[in-house]
Amino acid sequence: FFFIEIAIIVHTYFEFLNNKSLEERQAALNRVADQIQGSAVGLTDRVLSQAGTLEGVARTVLAEAETSAQKAAEVAAAAQQVTGNVEAIAATAEELSSSIFEISRQVGEAAAVCVVRARRRGRLAGGATCFSRAARSGDHRLGDDRYHGFDTK
């Protein structure tokens, strides 16, 4: 844009010079120089203005990049914490499953012992009582008839 303006000014000047006296040519030359200087100053002002705008945009982009990096670090930390929590929950669930299995096994043993004893005595109801006592007491001495109120004689 700037170079086109200068070319037009110079072309006009040379056409003008062909028809004028020395004083008129000097005045025309001064006008052309002023116009070129004005165009150069205008171009410089536009370039500086655009550079200022570009600098502002660059600062904004840099600030956004820093904010994005900070948020990415926060997300990574949160994801790491979630992973730790999931691992802890999985370990706790495994322990709970193991405990439930052990309780089921012990309840099954208690029921089997009570049924066997009840059959020996011919009293199924007594076996149920044995099982109830064992369950309420929380004691695992199911093999000890005296503990559960049975007379082994």
pLDDT averaged over every residue in the chain: 79
Structure pTM? 0.43
Q: Which two tokens stand for residue 6?
A: 């200068």
pLDDT reported for residue 59: 93
> Could you give the dihedral angle defined by the CA atoms of residues 7, 13, 16 and 20, in that order, rounded to the nearest 10 degrees?
-160
Mean pLDDT of 149-153: 48
Give CA separation, 144 vs 27, 103, 149, in Å.
130, 19, 9
Contact 11, 28 (CB under 8 A): no
CA distances for 101 relative to 61, 95, 97, 98, 118, angstroms: 59, 10, 6, 5, 26
Q: What tokens does 140 get?
A: 């695992």
Listed residue (142, 146, 145, 152) closest to 107, CA to CA: 142
Q: Is the pLDDT of residue 81 over 70?
A: yes
Q: How far apart are CA 141 and CA 31, in angstroms?
A: 119
Say what the pLDDT of residue 80 is. 94
Q: Over the stretch 36-56, which tens digit does the pLDDT of each residue have?
A: 788 888 888 888 888 889 999
Whole-number pLDDT of residue 72: 95
What is the rounded CA–CA span in Å between residue 118 and residue 112?
A: 10
DSSP for residue 122: T
Judge whether residue 142 has pLDDT over 60. Answer: no
* Bigger pLDDT: 99 vs 142: 99
Q: What are the structure tokens assigned to 2, written together?
A: 């700037």
